[in-house]
Structure 1
Amino acid sequence: MTAPPTHLPVDDRAVIWSLPEPERQQALADRPLLVMLHGFGSNERDLAGLFQALGPQYLMASLRAPLPLPGMSGSYAWFPLDPERLAAPDAALPTDAATRGVLRWLEHTHAQVRSAGPVGLLGFSQGAAMCLQMLRHQPEAFACAALLSGFVVPGPHGGDEALAQVRPPVFTGVDPADPIIPPAARERLEAFAREHTTLSARTYPGVGHGISSAGLHDVVSFLEEHLPRI
């Protein structure tokens, strides 16, 4: 039986950046970096559509998840999920392999400059769960995280105690009637975030499993406060 991978690399060629390559290296030193992680079954183009709305003060990078979904062209996942239980994954799933992949990509990206700026995270759905996993691994590495229609991978993690000590700012936004995120998953996320982070929680009735203009406005305000210009 083949052991599960311990590291799922990010395809650097698939990353969509908010700035062209000639401007990127200087921006890594001069601007905050916002790393964006899409949801299950989507791809890097999804959240890249938010670049303009989020503003030019950040260097933004929208990453592609490492696992292509069989029979679904252009669809990727950060870790395997039962389609019937998207917001209630098994705690034993290999979430850390993709997390290590993103952290190594970030380390490689920062190696291009002598002194990199602060880093924020923005994730949607499964990408939001990934943002929390990254905070659980390296809570001091990130200025803040915005989680939209997200959930938390259940079960304890070795980094939870350190995360609760650092308590980075975290924003959560979800529709209470989200058809993908059931109430139990939403409550579990809020309880975890209140215990381990400095939480700003918002609800957006009627949005479903998506991002509303009101939610995006609140994310912009959150980032302006916690991911300021250098």
Structure 2
Amino acid sequence: MTSDSEIKKERFPRKLQAFPFVPGATSSELAKAHKFFFLPADFVKSATSLAMIPENTMIPEVAFIGRSNIGKSSLINGLVNRNGLVKTSSKPGHTRMMNFFKIGDKLSLVDMPGYGWKSRDEWGGMILSYLQHRKNLKRIYILIDPSHGLKESDTQIMKLLDGSGLSYQVVLTKVDKLSKTKYSAAKAQIESQLVKDAICCFPMVLGVSSKNKDGLDDLRAAILKAGQLSL
């Protein structure tokens, strides 16, 4: 006969200690994703208000967010293999508007303004409203520098996204600056924090380097899967 304590254990399982296993992309999927992102990539428009956001919601869209100077522009350039598609700047906070790009009329990419420690105030209502109401937004990619780990501004943004039930995935940037040992330790620490605190985080942390191109195909494949584009 099942005891009351055993019933309670079944109803209230122990908290996750690690992300559940999610298989990575196959070699075939990586090759197809690589080919997809070499389709023509074009700048669509910049938006400083909701009224200026492109109305075309027929194609899937993903957005890239992160702290100022985290490397969003460089990452998008690396994904589409176009060094000059997205303007980059060494000055933190250079991107003050939402910049929209498209890949072969099949996928939309959005470069979002960087945020700082006053995340909600710095972003304002426009960006949060876009994230909460954009029907074709399939996933938000939060860029984190593993050398610095999760900052308070990052966790603030994640709480906002969790509160709105928005799917996001963490991407560790500039991994070329760390040794394999230090990168593994930093990634493990970040994952442990996400398992403990995050709700809507996709259970796979990716690592990329815009400089030497490592991990770009894995991110490309993840984006296509999130957008339900065939691989």
TM-score band, normalised by the shorter chain? 0.3 to 0.5
TM-score normalised over the length of structure 1: 0.47
Mark the structure with the bigger radius of gyration.
2
The structure whose RCO (Cα within 8 Å, separation 6+) is larger is: 2
